[in-house]
Structures are given as C-alpha cells and as structure tokens.
Structure 1
Amino acid sequence: MNEGLNRRQWLGAAAALAAAASLPAGAAGRPVPNIIFIMADDLGHADIGCYGGRIVATPHIDAIATAGVRLTQAYANSCVCSPTRLALLTGRYQYRLPMGLEEPLVRARVGLPADAVTLPRLLADHGYRTALVGKWHLGEAPFPGPLDSGYQSFYGIQKGGADYFTHLAQGQPVKEEDGLFDGRERSGDIGYLTDLLTDRAVAVIGQAARARQPLFLSLHYTAPHWPWEGPEDEAVASSLKDIRHYEGGSLKTYAAMLSSLDRGVGRVMAALRGAGLEGNSIVIFTSDNGGERFSDVWPLIGMKGELLEGGIRVPCLMSWPDRIAPGTVSRQVAISMDWAPTLLAAAGAVGGDWDGANLLAPLTGRAPVRPRTLFWRHKHNDQIAVRHGDWKYLRIKGREGLFDLAVDERERANRIAEEPAIAADLKQRFAQWNEGMLQYADGNYSYDAGAQAMDRP
C-alpha cells in the first residue's frame, strides 16, 4: 500500500479504478465522467464569493472555481425560471415549445411533451444512472414528469417554489402536485428543504459509486428562492398565513439561505471525494436566472424578470480535475441550452437537435473562445435582447439601447445614436431568428413601433 494513502483513501481509489474499467468511453476515448449539475434558484451574479459577493462567504462553492473554470460571460436562457429549465433539458431555445411561452409557468395547461428529446434521456440511453434531486417546474400531471422525461429517480418538488419547512404553499389548499415527492409518491420527510435535497444528493452519489455506474445528477436546489426562510426560521415560518414574498425577509435571512446552500454544495463535493470520483467528475454550478430582492448583482443592473444583464447573466463554475486546469477564468459566452450538447460530447453520447453549442473544447482549454450570437424575448414589458460579440441590443417597453459590454457591462452608456448601423444589424438578426420561434398569442413583438432612446435611472 502506498504510504501516502490511508486505508479509506486507498479503498476509494481502488474502487474508482475498478469502476472506470467498466464504463463506456467518453470524450477522447476516456472513461465517461460523472456529471453533477447544480442549479441554484434566483441566485444573483455576485451572490457568491468568487464573483465578488459581499453578503456572506461561500467557500465551498468558490472551491469549484478554484478547482476548475469560472465563466465571466455565462447567461441563463431566460430571466425567469421555467423557460431556462426547459432550455437546459432540451438544449434548444425554449420558444420552440408551447410551454416555453409561459413566463413563468403558472398554469397546468402546458408541460414538457412526452416525446421531447432530453439530456437525461440521452445520457440514460448511454448507460448513465440519471437522477433529479430538487425542483422540476416543467409541468404537472397529466403532462410528463421527471420520471417520464429521462430521469430514473426523482426527489423534490414539482412546482415553482415551496415553504422550506412544510414543503407546501402555506395558506393555500393542498393540491395533488404540491409537496415533497419521492418518485411519484409524496414524501413524509421532515426538515429544511435545502438540507433534505443535499441528503438525497449525497445518497444518490453513494448508490452510483457502489453500482459502478456513471452518474448524471441534476441537483436543482430551490435556494435562495423565496419564501425568505433560513434553517433556524421554522418557528417564524409556521406563524405565517401564507408564503411571504414582498413582505418580510432581510439580508440576514438571505445570508443564512446562501450559507445553507454553500454547506450543501460542500457536502456533495465531499461525497464525490469520499467515493473516489472527484477526478473524473464534471461539476457545474449555476443559476436559472438573475437575482431577486436581496441578491447582489454588482456591477450589473437589473434583476429577475428583466433582460438587463442582472436578470440573465449568472454565475457559472465548472470543475473536472482530470481535464480542466485549476483556477481558470474564461470569457467564453455561454447559455443554459449549451450544456446539453457540451455534456453529451463529454460523455461520448450522440443525439439531439441543438440550438445550444458544444463548448467542451473551449471550456477545457483545447480551443479558443467561440464567438456567439444569442437572443432573448420576454413577454412582460415587451422585452427583447440580442448579444452579438460584445454588442448588446436591448428593448424594454419600446425604449431601445445599444451597449458595448466589453467596456460597459453596467449598461449605462447607450450607443444607439452613435452606432445606428450596429443597432440596425442586431435588430435584423433578431427579426430573422424570431421568425423561426413560436409567437405569443397577442403578437407582442412589433419591435419597430414606438422605439425611442432608452432612459436610464
């Protein structure tokens, strides 16, 4: 036995080598990596330390950046929840599917189609054990749920949010789809939701390690989405008649929610190390959209529900010790729908018709940054946005702006009067792209009507 290893470390390393020998081949003929995709909910761009966070320390999340790559130009597909999750799962613009037009998804009349090609389904076909732990929010029965969409196990909530202690919407009638679920049945587990999700994620990692099967774990926390409840707030929460959104909360409570999230990520990373899986595991940490009431988005402006940078630019970290140099910083422009083709490429799997780009080569340092052109729409306040290179065209309520994000990521210096040709080009690109997308029922996008210089507070 190597004197540098204790017995537990030696057994973990031996188990990892034995497991690797039985795995299908991934990128470049190597054993396929485990994939742990951690998504926070409503996390601000600067809520975590490695992006300049000032609210609370997040050492465990920051450690992913230390071990791998931190993206400075990462985006969510939408400024609200469900459309981003749809794009992540399908690798396509959410506006190609009817449920992607619900911003956010609040009605049960749409959901993920039964025949949708999804990332977990393709990975399951490639021999992966697939699990969703956390938030689904892609439609309720009779539409397909997680277990009908490629995940082999599910533990979490089906709807957009829940009380962290009761796991229900307080003050509202309990519906069939409410509550914490284990598979298709409601779970009776008691505890703070962030901790329960972490407990299950750790268990899933252990099960996959013992089975010597590659794992795709979607760990979609509800934190730090409202209600504003830290781990010690059960007594306060139980006294409320309903979930408080615009009432209550504080930076102190928000800090407690972030700390709980950070501790959970630390436990997940420790589970990977303990199972001897860390080296050949891809770990991604990101958010579904920009920050909310108590979030920090500095130096950006805007928040959830807006196509300003603060509403769509998100923290994004990726570690893969066997393939990514530690402490890397990348200016690669990326978006949620890129992860489906990128992760399938890492796994050596095929299939899918993607709008997203395979960014495996630039993120692992084997290719230069890849140029991107990205588009957003959001029905509320008639918003559109285009990013092409460093230029961003933005329209909100008929007011237009053009910003050079290379020098003005705060979107303060409107250049539309100085660069009319660039603005016209980006508007034309949007028009061509928009023709291929499903349209809102009220035809909300007449983007030449009533346009004027964008005012900035």
Structure 2
Amino acid sequence: MNDPRMSRRLFQGLLGGGALTAAGVTAAGPADASDTEERPFRARPGGASSRRPNLLVILGDDLGWADLASYGAPHIKTPHLDRLAHQGVRFTNAYSGSATCSPTRFSLYTGRFPGRTKGGLAEPVSNRTQGLDPNHPTLASLLKGAGYATALIGKWHCGWLPDYSPTKSGWDEFFGNFGGVLEYFSKLGQLGEYDLFEGDATHRDLRYYTTVLTERAVEYVTRDHDTPWLLNLNFTTPHWPWLAEGDAATGAEIAEKIRAAKSHADVVDALSHYDGGSVAKYAEMVESLDAAIGEVLAALRRSGQEDDTLVLFASDNGGERFSYNWPLSGEKFSLLEGGIRVPTIVRWPARIGPHQVSDEPNFSPDWTATLLEVGGARPDPAYPLDGTSLAGYLLRGEEPGERDLFWRVRANRALRRGDWKYYQDTDGKDHLFNLARDSREQADLAPDRPELLKELKAAWEKTAEDLLPYPAS
C-alpha cells in the first residue's frame, strides 16, 4: 500500500518547506488513541533517555499484511495494536526474512539470510534432524554477552530436543512450543507429540494457548529485573488450526485425529484444519491476538518500564487462507508481496515520537542489527550480519541509503532495490515490478526495462553464490 502522503519525496519536500514542525512529532508520552493522524517519520535526536532499553519483540504467526485495522482491514478490530502504531512508527514497506515460519525465525535470530545455515534451508523445519546450530551466535546470545537477561516465550520452530532449543542458543529461559504448529488446547504438535515445554521439561496446561502465553509474558515483564532484558514473545495466533478460545470441542476432535494418525502426513492433515475455519473465525483469532498483546503492553505500563522498552511487533511471513492482504498479490510460501510484506510497528517512547509512518524498506535481519546496536552488543565478526541497523535512521535521522533486500526460497526468488523488484516465478520466468506504482505486481515491466532486469538479476545471483545449496529433494 503506497500512500503518496508517505513517499520519501514528499517527506523531503515537507522538511524543505517547513510544513512539518518539530512540535508535531516530539511528544514524549504515550499517544492519544483518539488521534489517528499519521505524519511522515522524523527522528527525534537526543530523546528523553540514553539508557539501554528493554527489548520486547512480538511476532504474530501467518498474520497478513493488512490484517490489522491500522493497515486497512475493514472487518477486524485491533485497537491495541493500532494504539501501539499511533504511539510509535508504522512501517509500510516492511518484510519478513522469508515466506515461511522457520526461515524467517532463523533470519531474525541470526541477522543473516536463512541460506547461510543448514537449518535455515528447511522451509520449514519439520523433523528432529533440522535446527539452529547452538554454536551460531544469535540475537539472544550476543545481547546476553552485553548484559541482557533473555527469554523466549511461545513458538521456537528452530529445532527439537535433544539437539536444539532456545536455551542452547542464548536464551536464559524458554516457555513454549518447539514445533511450527500445535492444537491450541491439547498442545499436540506437528510430530504428533505433546509440545508445551518450560525449559527442557514438559509443562501441562490444556487451556487456550494464546491465554497461556499471555500470562507468562505478563509475569516476565512485571518481574523485578536488575538488568535490561530481551523477551521474544512468539504467538502461534492466527496460524491454523483455526480455533478461538471457545472452540475446545473442535480442538478435541482435531486432537483425536492426531492421536489416530498413522503417519506424519496424517498429523499435518489433522492440524491443517482445511475443512474448518472461516473469515469470521480468523478475524476472531486476530482480535484475540490483539487483546493478548494489549494485556502484555498494559502490564509493561503498570510496571513503569514502558518508556524505556523498545517494542517491535511484526509477523513471521505473509498471510494465508483467510488473511486480508489487499492490495497485494500472493500469500505465504510465495515471494510475491503478499507472501513477505508484513505489518511492522516500533515503539520506544523515550526515543521515538508517536503518530509516525515510514515507507523505508526493511526486512527481518535489519531488526536483528538494530536491536543489537541499541542494546550495545556487537555482532560476531566470524558471522557477519546481512541486515542493516536502522538505529541511526530511527534515533538520529540518518538515511540508510539504497540497498538490496534479498530473498531465496526453493520455489522462486526476489530482490528489492528502491522501488524496483526483481521476481522469478515458479516456472523460472523473470519479472520486474515498480512497487511504488504497482504494489499488486500486475504490470510486468521486464520487456520495457531489460537492462534494469539484467542488473537486478545479476545482483540476486551474486548474493546467492555465497549461500548454501539446497539439498536434493
């Protein structure tokens, strides 16, 4: 969605003409939810605090580009996430690191392309042999080395015990599920086994999973912390099976099918719930996610830590069956915009002004680099980041400059440079789109701009040369 009010050209014109006043973007406290006017992003140098912030990173699961009211959903009410957006910066050109769950999580946890690591080649991780190498530095391990307490609550999806776990990769605490999907009540997951753990031990709780995770997150943020902290809060909502809090009976039916399954494919078929769900049920799930995040943010406010906590909210990939993605084409698994462009919101009251919108292109590895910088942690030089820190942009108004955003999946490829996107479809045909004019990717300009297509394709291939090859299917 490319609103002309949000263009960089207009932003520069406003600055040059003096139409945007500093007073309009420097309110320090939480934004008034009734004030929904958005202004082009402008950094607030200095801010109200120089301390290292707590870092609360919240992921929705398969939440589509426009599934929030603040991103255009006409039928889904998301007052808490809309308020979060009004209190900080809403990004209109933000992307996941890949088109499916676990590769994006690899890219966020490592700050690198998923194809840098063997486990990141799985799309997604689906068996016990795949996972994030515990020896690889992560967002958590690097921040922990800089003095942060670290915790992950919710969906991990980067490998199963005994070889893989958040607690083996830098998180002090883990409470959640190892796999990519689970039935919301029984907690039976994609391996057909119970999948709710505290650390390395199973934890029995048969209540609705979103509720359980919310309680744990509230407990964590309201603790007496004597150091800054990182909390990765990874909800499974609104990923299938499409179940809301009142659907325990339907959940029990799915659980019975899982128990009766004779193969892994049978388990996945049961969890996929493709004979169920609806647009209305999906909206109910998104609204429950919004309410859950509202509880966590209210607890953060009560704890007195709101001003000095950077909150990052995003989705792990584009939406699926019932998602509202307009005007984008494509969905999860695809590198068309609907598969990778995601809602992304950042709030840090002490340093970032409210009511702002930014069209600066970015993707998951950029946020790894950003969080490390604001947390005072250095990347490991042996594992160079593929993301670019946006701390200078957010805090000092430094333009990141034009750079390439790169994606590779088995099915297709994509690269974005400025407004231009190179895309190769599943048949191997190359396309060129101008996203500023055509975010729906309907006007293929490859025949009109062959030299630009060649240039972007060559850039994609140069980056891909450094990645691990996919194993034979």
TM-score between both structures, scaled by the size of structure 2: 0.84
What is the DSSP-based 3-state SS (H/G/I as helix, E as strand, rest coil) of the residue aligned with 2:371? helix
Question: What is the CA distance between 1:337 and its match in structure 2?
Answer: 0.8
- Contact 2:63-2:317 at 8 Å conserved across structures: yes
Aligned partner of 1:113 in structure 2 is: 133
For residue 361 of structure 1, the aligned residue among 378, 389, 392 is: 392
Match of 1:426 in 2: 456
Aligned to 2:416: 387
Give the corresponding residue for 1:8. none
Alpha carbons of structure 1 residues 89 and 173: separation in structure 2 relative to 1, 3 Å: closer
Q: Deviations over 1:147-184 (max 9, x none)?
A: 111111111000001011111139x743xxx4211111
Structure 1 partner of 2:205:
189
- Structure 2 matches for 1:33-432, cutoff 5 A? 33-169=53-189, 173-174=192-193, 178-207=194-223, 210-240=224-254, 241=257, 242-352=270-380, 353-364=384-395, 366-380=397-411, 383-396=412-425, 397-432=427-462
Name the CA distance, whole Å, in 1 between partners of 2:245 and 2:213.
13
User: For the residues of structure 2 that align with 1:158 and 1:415, how far apart are their CA atoms?
Assistant: 43
- Using the aligned pairs only, state the percent identity: 44
RMSD of aligned C-alpha atoms?
A: 1.8
Name the CA distance, whole Å, in 2 between partners of 1:325 and 1:29: 13
Assess if the C-alpha contact under 8 Å between 1:55 and 1:296 holds in 2: no
Q: CA deviation at 1:324?
A: 0.7
What is the SS of the residue equivalent to 1:237? helix
- Alpha-carbon distance in 2 for matches of 1:133, 1:173: 21
AA of the residue aligned to 2:443: A
Q: Distance in 2 between matches of 1:50 and 1:156?
A: 29
Query: What residue identity is the alignment partner of 1:366?
Result: G
C-alpha spacing 1:173/1:416, structure 2 compared with 1 (3 Å) = closer
Is the 1:163–1:227 Cα contact (8 Å) retained in structure 2?
Answer: yes
In the aligned structure 2, how far is the partner of 1:153 from the partner of 1:189? 18
- 1:313–1:365 Cα change, 3 Å: farther
**Amino acid paired to 2:468:** L
Q: Please give the secondary structure, in 1, of the residue aligned with 2:222.
A: helix
- What's the counterpart of residue 19 of structure 1? none
Distance 2:446 2:121 in 1: 29
Partner AA of 1:284 in structure 2: L
Unaligned segments of structure 1, at least 5 residues: 1-25, 445-457
**Amino acid of the structure 1 residue aligned with 2:391:** L
Whether the 8 Å contact between 1:332 and 1:362 is mirrored in structure 2 is no
How far does residue 123 in structure 1 lie from its aligned partner after superposition? 1.1
The separation in 2 between residues aligned to 1:244 and 1:118, in whole angstroms, is: 31
Partner Cα distance (1:370, 1:279) in 2: 29
Structure 2 match to 1:14: none
- Shift of residue 143, structure 1, vs aligned partner: 2.0
TM-score normalised to structure 1 length: 0.87
Are the counterparts in 2 of residues 60 and 266 from structure 1 also a CA contact under 8 Å?
yes
SS of the equivalent of 1:243 reads: helix
CA drift of 1:27 comes to: 11
Contact residue 127 and residue 213 of structure 1 kept, 8 A: yes
Separation in structure 1 between the aligned mates of residue 204 and residue 251 of structure 2, nearest angstrom: 19
C-alpha distance after superposition, 1:348-406 (max 9, x if no partner): 222332111011121235223532201111113xx011111111011112122110011
Quick check: 1:110–1:143 contact (8 Å CA) kept in 2? no
Q: Is the 8 A contact 2:54 2:308 kept in 1?
A: yes
Count of aligned residue pairs for this structure pair: 410
Instruction: Indicate the SS of the match to 1:239.
Output: helix
Letter of the structure 2 residue corresponding to residue 360 of structure 1: A
CA–CA distance in structure 1, aligned partners of residues 309 and 432 of structure 2: 40
5+ residue gaps, structure 2, are 1-45, 258-269
Q: Post-superposition shift, 1:54?
A: 2.1
